[in-house]
Homo-oligomer: A and B are copies of this chain.
Amino acid sequence: MSDAAVLLVHADSDREYLRAPGEELQTDLGVLTVPEAPRPGETIETHLGETFAVRRLRGPDLFNHFERTGAPMMPRDIGLVIGHTGAQSGDRVLDAGTGTGVLSGYLGRLGAEVTTYERDAEFAEVARGNMALAGVADRVDVRTGDVLEDLEDLAGGEFDLLTLDTADAAAVVERAPDLLTNGGYCAVYAPFVEDARRAEEAARGAGLLGVETLETIQRELHVDDRGTRPSTAGVGHTGYLTFGRRG
């Protein structure tokens, strides 16, 4: 994870930018060049005298600052995938579809080796740039194409984790026993209940253990002088998560 981008945080506002070492930042606050070896906590001035603090990159920054090619998976759902599957350093992960690549970036940064499929060539190219920013280009292999067409080659790959965020996830889940190592997990993210049901049925049909589909509602607690209450704004649905494990 060398050469990851750093977060540049403006001292006098809440503006933040993600830039790689050696890159230039050009905004109305002036121009600055990120040092080749930026240290967290140091400050850098633009030619207009505006100060930016350097922060080490972390997962939520990927969500907030990656170039987007669609609605990326949110930190909460990425966290749930990690918590329910125990994604860990050294894991071999097969992922489809990449999208913006926030999940792949998180997994790379916790030390997993990720092979991820994205059908859209332009999206894949953006995701590759995002992986470079996240400092995980050497750990995350973004492949342009349809994972379904490569399943024969991938079978026997002994993946520890299979993460799927595609409309036809169920078709991959059917093959999970060929793809996963013993005790390896499969996780499917599906916005619609019909797709979640298909994933659950495919996981059961494939003989995975501990199959369950979870729905998560998260609300912010609002705290002020009058008292404490859940936010009146509400937090909406993101997706169902279906999990199963190879026996």
Q: Which residues of A contact B (CB under 8 A)?
A: 1, 7, 9, 14, 40-41, 53-56, 58-62, 74-90, 106, 109-111, 160, 181-183, 185, 191-197, 200-201, 209, 212-221, 223, 226-238, 240, 247
Contacts and interface: CB of A to CB of B under 8 A. Distances in A.
The 5 closest A-B pairs by CB, nearest first: A79-B83, A59-B86, A234-B234, A192-B227, A55-B183
A41 B181 contact: yes
B216 A217 contact: yes
Given A182-B53, A247-B9, A58 B86 contact: yes
14 contacts: A55-B183, A79-B79, A82-B83, A83-B106, A89-B111, A193-B227, A194-B227, A196-B221, A196-B228, A200-B223, A214-B221, A216-B218, A229-B237, A234-B237
A89 B89 contact: yes
B218 A197 contact: no
A82 B59 CA distance: 9
Chain A interface, DSSP helix/strand/loop, else mixed: mixed
A213 B220 contact: yes
Contacts of A227: 191-195
Contact of A193 (B41, B62, B229): B229
Contacts of A84: 60, 75-76, 79
B230 A215 contact: yes
Given A9-B247, A160-B56, A61 B86 contact: yes
A76 B86 contact: no
Given A40-B181, A58-B183, A79-B80, 6 more contacts: A60-B85, A88-B109, A89-B89, A89-B109, A192-B227, A234-B237
